[in-house]
């Protein structure tokens, strides 16, 4: 929904929503290209674009192409005015807040982090307020052009109500986070599951642009998956679609915190890897960094832990490919800092379990820092401006 200027919201003007979304995610685009892509007349595109230009959200580039062969007047592509508005995005972990300021094209303009010594809701809100103030009142004069905040949280999140129903790593249940964060910051708040937020960023501003279907799998403390099908992010009737971390891949495997057994997350989540590495090495004080160092140094016992984890992840990804048939799959997350220990085993597990032509699905494996997750939260906030 566009700003409080007296003009109709984009939600009430489908053509304007379509035009702006296309330019935002795939632009700059000429009116002729927009008309062809959206199935609108050139006049309808011009009518939809005019108020967006007047409000400063779109502008015309210098004429660079002709509308057709032999046409006399070159086209003037439409582009997004990136600094028309800014958005704060924050990724909430159990021990840290990671924040960014993004422009309207989801390009990061500023970053900040604040440690959390206490993951209680009250403590997190206090630190959130300080983080947001620091970002908006620092260099850049962002506060005057920032109205929205996106929050990315692990677990079961109801984006519609802004409630965190259950976050196992934060130990939160039924927290009305959007309401509380709005009171703390004075901003309009959107709350989304962290994996879905990262998927939204990839869908609109990353590898998923233009793909009717793709999947993003995250490896780290948990194992998550975001799905886009028919051009839309899939949440499912209960908001927990894509939980591949709780697909059972080993009936004799370890117990999972979800109550299941042999889940991908129980084998390949960070805590699971540390626990197995401690058992294999006989070193109860081992950290994940220690485990990575030992595996890279050639410790076969610890190396086998990462191999098993990679194979489990690959099997989970294959289940997604078999069920959904995405055009591409991106594997990311902070756990892929050790991607050299995972990658071959992820690919082998995927190829072993993928059925038929699903094995041909391109698999892109790339680690992303937490700032990218915060950018995902900002991207969700951008979406809420456009399509609310």
Distance, in Å, from the CA atom of 75 to the CA atom of 60, rounded to the nearest integer, reads: 10
- Per cent of the chain over pLDDT 70 is 92
- b/e code 214-243 from CB counts within 10 Å (16+ = b): bbbbbbbbbbbbbbbeeeebbbeeeeebbb
pLDDT recorded at residue 138: 83
Mean pLDDT of the chain: 88
CA 46 to chain centre: 32
DSSP states along 174-185 = EE-HHHHHHHHH
Which residues of the chain fall short of a pLDDT of 70?
1-12, 64-74, 236-240, 388
Residue 281 phi, psi dihedral angles, 5° rounding: -90, -15
CB 174 within 8 A of CB 165: yes
Gap between the Cα atoms of 35 and 122, Å rounded? 50
Distance of CA 123 to the CA centre of its chain: 25
Domains belonging to the chain, first-starting first, are 10-80 (1.10.10.10), 84-200+372-387 (3.30.420.40), 211-367 (3.30.420.40)
Residue 65 pLDDT: 55
pLDDT of residue 242: 72
Alpha helices for 162-299 (secondary structure H): 177-185, 194-205, 264-268, 270-281, 288-296
- Structure confidence at residue 76 (pLDDT): 83
How far are the Cα atoms of 148, 241, 293, 329, 362 from residue 302, in angstroms, in the given order?
45, 32, 9, 28, 29
Give the model confidence (pLDDT) of 307-345 as tens digits. Answer: 999 999 999 999 989 988 888 888 888 777 788 898 899
pTM of the model: 0.83
pLDDT, position 145: 94
From first CA to last CA, the distance across the chain in angstroms is: 5
Residue 143: predicted pLDDT = 94
> pLDDT tens across 62-72, in order?
876 554 555 55
């Amino acid at each position: 929904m566009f700003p409080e200027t007296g003009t109709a919201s984009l939600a009430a003007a489908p053509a304007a929503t379509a035009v702006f979304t296309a330019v935002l995610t795939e632009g700059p685009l000429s009116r002729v290209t927009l008309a062809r892509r959206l199935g609108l007349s050139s006049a309808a595109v011009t009518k939809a674009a005019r108020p967006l230009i007047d409000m400063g959200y779109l502008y015309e580039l210098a004429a660079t192409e002709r509308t057709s062969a032999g046409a006399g007047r070159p086209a003037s592509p439409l582009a997004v005015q990136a600094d028309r508005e800014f958005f704060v995005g924050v990724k909430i972990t159990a021990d840290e807040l990671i924040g960014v300021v993004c422009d309207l094209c989801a390009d990061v303009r500023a970053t900040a982090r604040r440690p959390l010594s206490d993951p209680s809701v009250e403590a997190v809100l206090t630190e959130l307020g300080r983080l947001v103030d620091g970002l908006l009142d620092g260099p850049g004069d962002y506060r005057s052009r920032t109205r929205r905040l996106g929050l990315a949280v692990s677990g079961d999140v109801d984006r519609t109500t802004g409630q965190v129903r259950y976050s196992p790593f934060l130990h939160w249940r039924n927290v009305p986070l959007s309401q509380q964060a709005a009171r703390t910051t004075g901003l309009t708040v959107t709350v989304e599951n962290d994996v879905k937020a990262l998927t939204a960023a990839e869908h609109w501003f990353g590898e998923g642009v233009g793909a009717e279907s793709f999947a993003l799998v995250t490896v780290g403390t948990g194992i998550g998956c975001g799905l886009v099908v028919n051009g839309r992010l899939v949440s499912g009737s209960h908001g927990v679609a894509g939980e591949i971390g709780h697909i059972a891949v080993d009936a004799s495997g370890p117990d999972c915190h979800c109550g299941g057994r042999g889940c991908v997350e129980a084998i390949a989540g960070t805590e699971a890897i540390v626990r197995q590495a401690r058992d294999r090495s006989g070193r109860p004080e081992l950290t994940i960094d220690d485990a990575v160092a030992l595996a890279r140094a050639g410790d076969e016992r610890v190396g086998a832990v990462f191999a098993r984890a990679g194979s489990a992840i690959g099997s989970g990804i294959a289940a997604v490919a078999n069920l959904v048939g995405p055009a591409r799959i991106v594997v990311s997350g902070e756990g892929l800092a050790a991607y050299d220990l995972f990658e071959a085993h992820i690919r082998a597990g995927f190829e072993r379990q993928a059925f038929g032509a699903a094995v041909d699905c391109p698999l892109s494996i790339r680690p992303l820092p937490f700032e990218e997750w915060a950018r995902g939260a900002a991207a969700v906030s951008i979406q809420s401006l456009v399509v609310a």
